[in-house]
Amino acid sequence: MTIFVPAAYPSQYPLDAVRDYQTLQQAVLNWFARAGDTNLGGFIDYFIQVAEERIYRDIFTQNKGSGVAPLETAISTTINANGVVPLSVMPGYLGMHHLLVSIDNCTFELIRKNPEYIYTNHSFRAPSAPPQYFAREGQQIIFGPFPDSAYAITGIYWQRFPPLSATNPVSWMTQTVPLLLLQACNAAVAAFLKDQEALQFWEPSYQQTLASFLLADRAESWSGSAPSMVAG
């Protein structure tokens, strides 16, 4: 059984004030009253990795395949000579929010389809006309019709950012959803320790905070201010 008693340690931050990689590590140790437990401390990076991966996965799973505002990243490129845009120009690609094409000084939104649609309806895969549709195929974006020029492409995609580490101490998660990140870490610790009592506490807390964040993000899309959740 885990007793949630904060361990005594000198720090300028109150319990759960997660601001970066270091304070997240300390908060996890404090919640499990193991600040001096070097065995648990040696697994902290693992718990953080599990938590980050889970948050990315759950956002898209529970948000109907869409990302959230903090993951939105602009893209500005051109269609290459092979008639595609490689995903390498979009580091950390998780999904496409929207894609635009510039044709004769006018900008149009491309319609997303699956690759089968592109190949079935635009089977002539040589320069033919301005694109109207796009699809992700493997590590590239393909278009239909096959582009007849190196059109300028702009848009927004959802990006996976570099994970937290000693050399990358701050991320969108520590800045926007620190409480969610802590809860995900603590749920990972509870599962690792096979502590059902702790898991029954942290899992519902995580799910509730995630649901609130996704709801706030959807509301933000109709307002204009970024959603933010901070640890108490």
Peptide bond into 131 cis (omega under 30): no
Average pLDDT over residues 198-210: 96
Structural domain of 143: 70-159
- Evaluated on CA atoms 171, 177, 182, 184, the torsion sign reads negative
Q: Residue 68: which of 183, 182, 231, 215 has the closest Cα? A: 215
Four-point Cα dihedral 107, 78, 82, 67, nearest 10: -80
Question: Within a domain: residue 78?
Answer: yes
Question: Distance from first CA to last CA of the chain, Å, rounded?
Answer: 25
Question: Within a domain: residue 59?
Answer: no
Q: Distance between CA atoms of 187 and 52, rounded to whole angstroms?
A: 12
Question: Within a domain: residue 150?
Answer: yes
Q: What is the reported pLDDT for 8?
A: 38
Assess whether pLDDT exceeds 50 at residue 228: no
pLDDT digits (tens, 9 = 90+) for 24-52: 999 998 888 765 555 777 899 999 999 99
Q: What is the reported pLDDT for 16?
A: 54
Question: Within a domain: residue 125?
Answer: yes
Question: Within a domain: residue 83?
Answer: yes
What's the domain count of the chain?
A: 1
pLDDT digits (tens, 9 = 90+) for 60-77: 999 999 999 999 999 999
Question: Within a domain: residue 84?
Answer: yes
Give the containing element (helix H, strand E) for 134: strand 133-137
Give the containing element (helix H, strand E) for 117: helix 115-121
DSSP-assigned states of every residue in 21-89: HHHHHHHHHHHTT-TT-HHHHTTHHHHHHHHHHHHHHHHHHHTTT---GGGEEEEEEE--TTS-EEGGG
Question: Within a domain: residue 100?
Answer: yes
Question: Within a domain: residue 104?
Answer: yes
Task: Give 203's contacts (C-beta < 8 A, 6+ positions apart).
Answer: 187, 190
The per-residue pLDDT of the chain, averaged, comes to 88
